[in-house]
Amino acid sequence: MQTIILDDHGRAWDARSPALRNFLHCSLPDFDFLTYVVENLGFVAVTKIAPNAARIRFRAETASQTSIAAALYCIADMGIERAVISQPDRFAEKLFPSLAQTIAYLAEQVAANHQKPSRAFTGRELPLEMLASAGKALESLFAHWIDSKQVYDSTKLADMLPDSLRGRFMLVEPVDGRLTITDVGPGFEIFGETWRNNARGMPMEEQPDYNYGQWVQGIYRRVQETLVPRLDEVNATIRRPDRNDSIQCHYQRLILPFTCKANGETCLLGASVVDVWKQQPAALDRRAIEECPA
């Protein structure tokens, strides 16, 4: 099986050829060259394992966007449909049945690791034992998650979410490798009714404040991967481009991994309770107490 190495300038090298070794002055015979260039230099390795399938090795923390793009062009030229993604810091490999899903996952991983930390969003994961102090609404939702054996039932949640949590919730599911919004509660008013009515079917990160959407999406993604509930205390300043202002808020958010009855896939329900809200630069609006991000 031939392995192609894509470097940080987008150039393709045959892994068996001594050319790249000579270029990098790494000629030692007992040196794990492939591991070195992937993990330390940010190169991407593509190995064709079947006529329409390939294994892609990369490390998100070091991979350059140029090498990732070159790898995607490479597998497209090969006619690859299915891809196995192998990352050195992950115990399990990931299989993607389509090129579109592979592209979405690689782009998401690189963006998450290369984006500069923003002071606008800070979060602190809290132990689940602190649910009692986070509010009765979140504690009751967690109890429902346990009693339901983690099976999502919209009918049983219909009363709990709008009433006890004032409708501040968001439901997301993986679609073609991306976390996609499938439901938004009426209490999610931060971006307005028009956005909320059109949010279903959108990738989670595509919120009016895109940076905030990406940041939150990364946290939901970790819950999807671990299948462990997560409680966070969040301070965020969220831009609202349509109103030319921003909202500074402090809230507690609980994310729960459910199994959907319809298809057996994992869906994620995020619900939040707000305790501080400040509109900038305009004065505080009384309606703001009813609004909170997911």
Domains in the chain with CATH codes: 3-114 (no CATH), 121-290 (3.30.450.20)
Q: What is the mean pLDDT of the chain?
A: 83
Query: For residue 19, what pLDDT is reported?
Result: 87
Q: Cis omega before residue 281 (within 30°)?
A: yes
Lowest mean pLDDT among 36-50, 94-108, 272-286: 272-286
Sign of the dihedral defined by the CA atoms of residues 152, 155, 158, 159, in that order = negative
Q: Give percent above pLDDT 90 in the chain.
A: 33
Q: What is the pTM of this model?
A: 0.59
Whether the pLDDT of residue 191 is over 80: the answer is yes
- pLDDT number for residue 221: 92
pLDDT band per the 50, 70, 90 thresholds, residue 118: low
Residue 12 has pLDDT above 80, yes or no: yes
Question: Which has the higher per-residue pLDDT, 113 or 45?
Answer: 45
Residue 82 pLDDT grade (very low, low, confident, very high; cuts 50, 70, 90)? very high
Residue 189: the pLDDT is 80
124, 181, 186, 197, 275 from 291: Cα distances, Å = 21, 18, 9, 15, 10
Position 285 scores a pLDDT of 39
What pLDDT does 166 receive?
A: 77
Model confidence at 234, pLDDT cuts 50, 70, 90, reads very high
Query: By the 8 A CB rule, do 137 and 162 touch?
Result: no
| CA proximity to 100, closest of 87, 83, 114 | 83
| Identity at 172, one-letter amino acid code | V
Average pLDDT over residues 30-40: 79
